[in-house]
Amino acid sequence: MAFPKDFLWGAATSSYQIEGAWNTDGRGETVWDRFCHTVPSKVANRDSGDVACDHYHRYREDVALMCQIGLQAYRFSVAWSRVLPEGIGPVNKKGLDFYSRLVDELLAAGIQPYLTLYHWDTPQALQDRGGWANPASVQWFAEYTDVMTRYLGNRVQNWTTHNEPWIVAFVGYFYGGHPPGMTDLTTAYQVAHHLLLAHGAAAPIIRQNVPNSRLGISLNLNPIYPGAPETEHLSAAFRQDGFLNRWMLDPLFKGVYPADMVSLVEPYLPPIDLTTVQSAAVPLDFLGVNYYLRNVVLHDDNELPLRLRHIMPEDAQKTALGWEIFPEGLTALLVRLQQDYAPAAMYITENGSAFDDQVLADGTVNDPQRIAYFESHLAALEQAIEQGAAVKGYFAWSLMDNFEWSHGYDKRFGLIYVDYTTQKRTLKQSALYYRDKIRG
Ligand code: FCB
C-alpha cells in the first residue's frame, strides 16, 4: 500500500449544486440562477439549483452522513452572493452565519473543512458589470476573500481560491455551455487572465488573515494523448495540452503564459499586457487536481484555432455522461505534474463518475460500476505516489447526487443517493465501499 498513514480521505461538493435556498435569508442572485431561469434550453429538463439538495437547511443531517462514511475532510464552496448579495459592499450576516454553523458542525464531528471561495456561482450583480471580463473583478474577489478569511480564518485552515477557472473562462465565454453563454474566444482569454490575477491577489490576503493557512487552487486537468502515432498528431496533442493545461499551470507555477500557445492564439488574445500574469505565481501549499478523463486528439487543419479535433477511442468504456473511463491517465497526469511543476503537495480535489443509479425494492442503491471506477482510480493514484507524485489526499466527487450544471439532475455522481422529491438520502454501496477503504 502506497497510501501513507496521514493520507487524507474526503468528499467534495459545491454551493450552487447542493444548497438550494436560492433566495433565502438575503442571498443575492447568481449567474447560475439567471442562466437556469432565463436560458432553460441550455439546462436539461429546465432544472435549476433553486432547491437542489436543500443542503442549506439539511447540513446537519449531511454532516452526520459524512460521519457514517468516516470522512476526514470535506471540500465545499461558499456562495459569494450569500455573503455579499451584490458581490461587493454590504455583508449579509445571515449568509455568513450559515457557513459558520456548517464549519462548526464539521469541526465538532472531527472533519477538516476545505473551503473553496469560488466554484462558478458569480454574483449576478457583478456579471451585470461585466463579471470576470471586467479588470475590476480582481479587486472584487480580493474584497470577498478578505471578508471570508476575516470571518472564518480562525476555524478554517485550508483555502482554495478557484475551482476550475479554465471551465469558467472557456465553457462560459467560448463554448457557451455555462453562463454567461458567450462564444467569444478573446473574451474567454480575458476572463482567464483576470481569474489568474484574482487568485494572485487573494493569496496575500489569505496568508495575512488565516494563521497557518494552507493555500491552493483546483484545476481541471486532462492528460492529452495523440490519436495516431504520426508527428503531426503528437504536435496536436501538445497544442491541446497548451490550451487546456499549460495555459493555467505555467502562469501559476512559472509566472508566464506558454510561449508556443501565445504565438498560436495571438490573433485571439485581448489587448492586455500578458506579463502581468506574473502576479498569479504565488507560492502554493497544494495544487488541487480534478481528474475525470483524458483527451485523445488528431491533427485537423480545418479546426481553428488549434488545428485539432477530439476523438473517442473505439473500445472506450464510458460513464453515463459519455466520459471515457481511463484510470491510467491519472497516474500519467500526476507523475507529469510532479516532474514539470513540482508542487509542494497535491490533492485530488475531485474524481468520480456518473451512472444511472436505481433504488432497489429493499431501499438500497447498488452501484458496482461506481465502485469499480473508484477502485481503479485509487489504484492508479497509488501508482502515481509510488512513482514520486506528492499526493496527500483524495476527495471523491461527490458527497451526494446534485445539480450537475447543464445536465441538471439527470446525472448522479454521489456516494449518497438523493431522492429529489422527498430529499431522502441513502448511502449507496459505493459509500460503504469508500467507508471500508478509509477504515482500511
Ligand atoms: C467538475 C466540476 C464539479 C462537477 C464535476 C462533475 O468539472 O468542478 O462541480 O460538476 O465536474
CA distances to 136, 373, 411 from 424, in Å: 43, 25, 17
393 within domain boundaries: yes
Of the residues 86, 164, 266, 375, which is catalytic?
Answer: 164
Of the residues 19, 105, 350, 404, which is catalytic?
Answer: 350
* Averaged pLDDT of the chain: 98
Cα of 36 from ligand 1 centre, angstroms: 17
Cα of 397 from ligand 1 centre, angstroms: 8
117 within domain boundaries: yes
Residue to mutate, 325, 405, 412, ligand 1, most ligand atoms under 8 Å from C-beta: 405
pTM across the whole model: 0.98
3 within domain boundaries: no
Cell 491552493 sits at which residue? 216
CATH assignment of the domain containing 415: 3.20.20.80
280 within domain boundaries: yes
The pLDDT tens digits for 148-183 are: 999 999 999 999 999 999 999 999 999 999 999 999
The pLDDT tens digits for 408-423 are: 999 999 999 999 999 9
1 within domain boundaries: no
Cα of 180 from ligand 1 centre, angstroms: 17
Instruction: Tell me, yes or no, if 164 is annotated catalytic.
Output: yes
Instruction: Tell me, yes or no, if 382 is annotated catalytic.
Output: no
pLDDT beyond 90 at 40: no
Which whole number is the average pLDDT over 193-208? 99
349 within domain boundaries: yes
Cα of 17 from ligand 1 centre, angstroms: 9
2 within domain boundaries: no
- The pLDDT score that the predictor gives to residue 233 is 98
Residue to mutate, 164, 325, 351, 415, ligand 1, most ligand atoms under 8 Å from C-beta: 164
The pLDDT tens digits for 204-231 are: 999 999 999 999 999 999 999 999 999 9
| Domain that includes residue 137, residue range | 8-439
Please tell me the distance from the alpha carbon of residue 365 to that of residue 380, in angstroms, as a whole number: 26
- Angle in degrees, CA 115, 330, 345, rounded to 5: 45
Which whole number is the average pLDDT over 20-33? 98
- The pLDDT score that the predictor gives to residue 2 is 73
The pLDDT tens digits for 54-91 are: 999 999 999 999 999 999 999 999 999 999 999 999 99
Q: How many domains does the chain have?
A: 1
Band of the pLDDT at 290, cuts 50, 70, 90?
very high
SS3 content of the chain, % helix, strand, coil (to 5): 45, 15, 40
Percent with pLDDT over 70 in the chain: 100
pLDDT beyond 90 at 1: no
Q: Which amino acids bring their CB within 6 angstroms of ligand 1?
A: 14, 17, 163-164, 167, 220, 290, 350, 397, 404-405, 413
379 within domain boundaries: yes
Q: Which amino acid is at 381?
A: L
- The pLDDT score that the predictor gives to residue 405 is 98
Atom of ligand 1 nearest to the CA of 218: 8
